Amino acid sequence: MISIILILVLFINGIISVANAGSEDLLENLPLEYKQLGFKEVGRAKFSVLFWDIYNSSLYSKSGNYYHDNSPEAILFKIEYLKDITTEDLLERTVEQWKHLNISESQYTPYISRLKAIWPNISSGDSLTMLVEEKKSIFYFNNVKVGVITDKAFSKLFLDIWLSPKTSQAKLRAQLLKGNEL
The strand ranges marked E within the chain are 40-49, 52-61, 75-81, 127-133, 136-141, 144-149
Whole-angstrom CA distances from 154 to 83, 141, 149 are: 26, 18, 7
Q: Which residue ranges in the chain fall short of pLDDT 70?
A: 1-36, 69-72, 179-182
Query: Smallest Cα–Cα separation from 176: which of 55, 4, 19?
Result: 55
Dist CA 87 CA 69 (whole Å): 29
Dist CA 167 CA 131 (whole Å): 20
The pLDDT of residue 36 is: 62
**What number of helices (H) and strands (E) belong to the chain?**
5, 6
Please give the CATH number for the structural domain made up of 32-177: 3.50.70.10
Dist CA 154 CA 137 (whole Å): 7
Q: List the chain domain ranges.
A: 1-30, 32-177
Dist CA 144 CA 26 (whole Å): 10
Dist CA 84 CA 126 (whole Å): 9
pTM over 0.85: no
- Long-range contacts from 52-56, C-beta under 8 angstroms, 24+ separation: 52/83, 53/82, 53/83, 54/81, 54/82, 54/83, 55/79, 55/80, 55/81, 55/82, 55/83, 56/80, 56/82
